[in-house]
Structure 1
Amino acid sequence: MMRRITALMAFLLSMNTLLFAQYDPKALGILDAMSAKYKSIPSFSAKFTYTLQNEMEGVNEDFKGEVAVKGDKYRIKMSGQEIMNDGATSWTYLADINEVTIDNYDPNSGDMTPSKIFTAYKKGYKYLYLQDKTEAGQVYEMVDLVPEDKNQQFFRIRMQIHKKDRTLKSWEIYDKVGNIYRYAISDFNPNQALNDAYFRFDTAKYPGVEVIDLR
Structure 2
Amino acid sequence: MFKKLFLFIGIFSLTLAVNAQNSDKAKALLEEVYAKVTSYDNIQIDFKYGLENTEANINQESSGNVTLSGENYFLDYLGAQVMSDGAKVYTIVPENEEVTIDAISEDDNNITPSKMLTFYRSGHNYAWDILQNVGGRKIQYVKLTPIDSNTEIQSILLGIDMGTKHIYKLIQTGKNSTKTTITVNSFKTNQALSSTLFTFNAKKYEDEGYYIIRN
Shift of the 152–21 alpha-carbon distance from structure 1 to 2, 3 Å rule, reads: farther
Offset of residue 140 of structure 1: 0.6
Partner residue, 2:6? none
RMSD (CA atoms): 2.0
Change beyond 3 A, Cα 1:37–1:94: same
| Residue 134 of structure 2: aligned partner | 135
Kept in 2: contact 1:22–1:128 (CA 8 A): no
Q: Percent identity?
A: 29
- 1:71 and 2:75 equivalent? no
Q: 1:106 to 1:153 in 2, by over 3 A?
A: farther
String of CA shifts for 1:101-129, please: whole Å, max 9, x gaps: 11112354332222213222222111111
Map Cα deviations across residues 161-201 of structure 1 (whole Å, 9 max, x no partner).
Answer: 10111011111222222222211112211002335631233
The 3 A distance-change label for structure 1 pair 23 and 146 is farther
- 1:73 Cα deviation (Å)? 1.4
Please say which structure displays the higher CA radius of gyration.
2
Letter of the structure 2 residue corresponding to residue 141 of structure 1: Q
Equivalent pair of 2:98/2:212 in contact (CA under 8 Å): yes
Mapped partners of 2:161, 2:72: distance in 1: 24
| Preserved contact between residue 42 and residue 67 of structure 2 (Cα < 8 Å) | yes
Query: 2:211 is matched with which residue?
Result: 210
Instruction: Report the TM-score, using the length of structure 1 for normalisation.
Output: 0.83
Measured against aligned partners, the alpha-carbon deviations of 1:24-79 in whole angstroms (never above 9, x if no partner) come to 01101110111111011110112111111111111111111110000121111011
- The answer as to 2:113 corresponding to 1:123 is no
Gaps of at least 5 residues in structure 2 are 1-18
Q: 1:108 to 1:24 in 2, by over 3 A?
A: farther
Contact 1:47 1:67 in 2 (8 A): yes
Aligned to 1:166: 165
TM-superposed deviation, 1:23: 7.8
Matches of 2:22 and 2:194 in 1, distance apart? 38
TM-score by length of 2: 0.83
Partner of 1:44: 43
For these two proteins, the number of residue pairs brought into alignment is 195
SS in 2 for 1:35: helix
Unaligned residue ranges in structure 1 (runs of 5+): 1-19
Give the whole-Å Cα distance in 1 for the aligned partners of 2:72 and 2:85: 5
Asked if 2 retains the 8 angstrom alpha-carbon contact of 1:23 and 1:126, the reply is: no
Letter in 2 for 1:54: N
**Superposition pairs for residues 1-215 of structure 1, below 5 Å?**
24-194=23-193, 197-206=196-205, 207-214=208-215
**Aligned 8 A contact 2:22 2:128 in 1:** no
- Residue 25 of structure 1 aligns to a residue whose secondary structure is helix
**Closer, same or farther in 2 for the Cα pair 1:153/1:86, shift >3 Å?**
farther
Contact 1:70/1:194, CA 8 A, preserved across alignment: no
Distance 1:110 1:92, change over 3 A: same
